[in-house]
Structure 1
Amino acid sequence: MADHRLAGLSAPSISDIEELAAEAYASLPPDFRALCGEVVISVADFPTQEVQKDMDAGPFDLLGLFQGIGLAHDSATPETGRMPNMVFLYRRAILDYWAEHEETLGAIVTHVLVHEIGHHFGLSDDDMYGIEDRTP
């Protein structure tokens, strides 16, 4: 007999992940958020072919990626025409990870977001776990 309780469900969309990411970002500790500056958060199904090649990764290998210049490498003088620092979250890999683990989707999105923003600051994994622990 089929289980009709699941019949109307669909996988979370890109906009669902964007909403989770916005909620996660808003819930980060204010001191951490204040340091983030003009970082842009973008959600895509998969990394581009170029990113996969550059990272020697398959489409499901990356949950997220920071692209830009970390603060430790940033100069005091802004460069004209430079793209903003960006954090990409990859929906399909995040959903794949979610299906195989006991964590909530929101917790996974928060973890990936903190980890990728952490690269922006050159934080250690311990620092990033500390930020996650301070996130409601």
Structure 2
Amino acid sequence: MSTPNPWRDRQAPSLEDMEALAAEAFTRLPEAFRRLCQGVVIRVEDFPTEEVLEAMGLESEFDLLGLFQGIGRAQDGAVAQTGQMPNMVFLYRRPMLDYWAEHEETLGGLVTHVLVHEIGHHFGLSDDDMDRIEAMADMP
């Protein structure tokens, strides 16, 4: 008798599942990096809004995996603080699942990658800096 395929009864990860993956990925980031993220809100949505797509000149809602919205630390203080919304990182579930299906990468690894890079925009970090932080998050 053959062993049942573990994927047979699985469904695509829900928004809640992706939020849990993002929360887990965040806890694995270096503590000093997490402390700097105080006040950054992480949200998981199915897709970016039409306004975001238009503002970025994107043709498809599948073209964007994540987005940082707000005032990055590099620009902090350059603008008046009155009425400022919290800095937010958006992770887009459906585009991430589409990307995941087409590439040889774990879903947890992809969520970590997008999260680090979007938070990295908040700090104005280089790609090399973000790659080092991501590598530290992958360490046991």
Q: TM-score, normalised by structure 1?
A: 0.92
Paired residue for 1:41? 42
1:1-136 equivalences under 5 Å are 6-57=7-58, 58-75=60-77, 79-136=81-138
Aligned Cα root-mean-square deviation (Å):
1.7
Question: How far apart in 1 are the matches of 2:17 and 2:130?
Answer: 24
**Secondary structure, in 3 states, of the residue corresponding to 2:74?**
helix
Query: Runs (4+) of structure 1 moved beyond 6 Å?
Result: none
Question: How far apart in 2 are the matches of 1:104 and 1:89?
Answer: 16
Deviates more, 1:6-15 or 1:70-79: 70-79
Question: How far apart in 2 are the matches of 1:54 and 1:77?
Answer: 20
Question: How far apart in 1 are the matches of 2:132 and 2:7?
Answer: 37
Q: Report the CA distance between 1:122 and its aligned residue.
A: 0.4
Q: Report the CA distance between 1:116 and its aligned residue.
A: 0.2
Question: How far apart in 1 are the matches of 2:72 and 2:33?
Answer: 14
Structure 2 residue runs of 5 or longer lacking an equivalent are none
Question: How far apart in 1 are the matches of 2:9 and 2:64?
Answer: 29
Question: How far apart in 1 are the matches of 2:33 and 2:55?
Answer: 29
Q: Deviations over 1:4-53 (max 9, x none)?
A: 76442210000000000000001100111111120000000000000000
Question: How far apart in 1 are the matches of 2:23 and 2:80?
Answer: 26
Alignment: residue pair count: 134
Question: How far apart in 1 are the matches of 2:50 and 2:128?
Answer: 31
Determine what percentage of the aligned residue pairs are the same residue.
65
Deviates more, 1:76-85 or 1:32-41: 76-85
Question: How far apart in 1 are the matches of 2:90 and 2:6?
Answer: 33
Q: TM-score, normalised by structure 2?
A: 0.90
